[in-house]
Amino acid sequence: MGSELRALHVQDNYGNADSHVMPMCGTTNYDDLIRGLIDSGYKGDFTFEGGNTLRRSNSWPNFRNNVKPEDKLADPPLYLQQKQIAVMYEVGVWFLESYGITVE
């Protein structure tokens, strides 16, 4: 079915829930994933769903505990969130290039 797929939403987890942490932060074997995609002829998009890696305090469904209005560290600033996104992109490039897949 891989040649019929058009897009993937790749995320990591800890083996107990749909955690949506960025790849390489959980327990997933990504070599198995990439080899499976290659073997199936997958040609679609390769996107990451890692929004639970650097989270705001009010992010559903796991709200940060005991947050008070005066707390300074409750929410990561935008520039750190942007850096996390940049790291996710670099991880994806590394995944693909490690298996000889050209990144466009």
pLDDT digits (tens, 9 = 90+) for 72-103: 999 999 999 999 999 999 999 999 999 999 88
pLDDT for the residue numbered 44: 86
Residue 104, in any domain of the structure: no
The total number of structural domains in the chain stands at 1
Parent domain of 89: 2-63+70-98
Q: Measure the CA dihedral 74/79/83/85, to 10°.
A: 80
pLDDT digits (tens, 9 = 90+) for 35-78: 999 998 888 888 898 888 888 898 877 788 999 999 999 999 99
Residue 52, in any domain of the structure: yes
pLDDT for the residue numbered 46: 84
The Cα 94–Cα 103 span in angstroms is 9
